Amino acid sequence: MTFSIAGKTAIVTGAAHGIGLAIARHFVEKGANVMLADMDEARLCDEVGGSNGESGRGTARAFAGDLRERLTIANLLSATLDSFERVDILVNACRQVMPSDPLDPDSDNVETLLQQNLIVALRLSQATAKRFIKQAEGKDLAEEQSIGAIVNLSSIAARRSNPGLLGYSISSAALDQMTRSMAVGLAPHRIRVNGIAFGSVLSDSLKVALKQNPTYRAEVRDHTPMKRIAKPSEVASAAQFLASDGAAFMTGQIVTVDGGRTLVDPVAVPAY
């Protein structure tokens, strides 16, 4: 088995910023064709650049739209097929972090985060899985060969209670269960579904938090055995592994990338 994703086509959502962007860049560098999807059209255009979107050894294209709309999901798949003729990998990296007040019944933040962090991933995974199945029709595949891989980006917040991140924790836990359930449901079709639960990664949202609270960096390090904050590229490498044939017998797994934090930290230090 190989960890290579060269020549494969991936859709990466949330790809205009932070971890999603790091994954998209990493996949392109490793030789994959990548459709970067996000609502931030200007940032996507800056990232893809040029007339052909070529970058590194792979090729990048951009798709701007609100994936909370069903039509947008259909259009994203159509745009990917128009550009690359197929899709092999889906990385659901679009996510949102918002504060939640457990005593505020008038706030819509929990519903908003469930829509953004769970429902978008669910609908896009369903649509992409159908495409995986259609592409494999009539093909004689080896027993160990999968026809597609889905990677969901979650958080250790799913396992750590923080009242101020109620909605984020709930949506992360729901995404983990979606990952496991879809893995079982799609396994007969040879589609693998896995997730990555990360701790504190130097994402855009964490950078904002560090600016607002200068002492937070030391607090995170104190609760992390490896005494540092992860680079987005480290999550990207984990995503590559799960998307590659090297993980051909892995499905329904939530891989934790947190420097050992969930092993020792019972304290609710926010994870972004």
For 203-217, what is the mean pLDDT? 81
Residue 271: the pLDDT is 60
- Across the chain, mean pLDDT equals 91
For 39-68, what is the mean pLDDT? 80
Identify whether the C-beta of residue 99 lies closer than 8 Å to the C-beta of residue 272: no
Decide if pLDDT at 55 tops 70.
no
Helix crossing, 120-136 with 166-186: angle to 10°?
20
Closest CA to 190 of 248, 238, 243, 246: 248
* Of 40-54, 101-115, 227-241, 246-260, the least confident: 40-54
Residue 209: the pLDDT is 78
Q: How far apart are CA 222 and CA 270, in angstroms?
A: 13
Which positions ≥6 away from 207 have C-beta within 8 Å? none
Q: How far apart are CA 75 and CA 223, in angstroms?
A: 43
- The residue type of 103 is L
Residue 75: the pLDDT is 98
Residue 51: the pLDDT is 37
Degrees, nearest 5: CA angle 158-114-28: 80
The pLDDT confidence band at residue 98, using thresholds 50, 70 and 90, is confident
Provide the token pair at 30.
Answer: 């490793």
Q: What is the dihedral of CA 203, 207, 208, 212, to 10 degrees?
A: 150
Q: How far apart are CA 6 and CA 21, in angstroms?
A: 18
- Reduced to 3 states, what is the DSSP secondary structure of residue 141? coil
* Of 19-23, 179-183, 201-205, the least confident: 201-205
Identify whether the C-beta of residue 12 lies closer than 8 Å to the C-beta of residue 77: no
Q: What percent of the chain has pLDDT over 90?
A: 71
Provide the token pair at 196.
Answer: 């990555």
Degrees, nearest 5: CA angle 93-95-99: 155
The pLDDT confidence band at residue 256, using thresholds 50, 70 and 90, is very high
Decide if pLDDT at 272 tops 60.
no
Cβ-based burial of 168 (10 A; exposed 0-12, middle 13-18, buried ≥19): buried
For 90-115, what is the mean pLDDT? 91
Identify whether the C-beta of residue 230 lies closer than 8 Å to the C-beta of residue 202: yes
Closest CA to 158 of 168, 176, 173, 175: 173
For the stretch 123-166, pLDDT in tens is: 999 999 999 999 999 888 888 889 999 999 999 999 987 888 89
Decide if pLDDT at 80 tops 80.
yes
Domain extent listing, the chain: 9-260
Decide if pLDDT at 266 tops 70.
no
Topology at the third CATH level for domain 9-260? Rossmann fold (3.40.50)
Provide the token pair at 209.
Answer: 């938090």
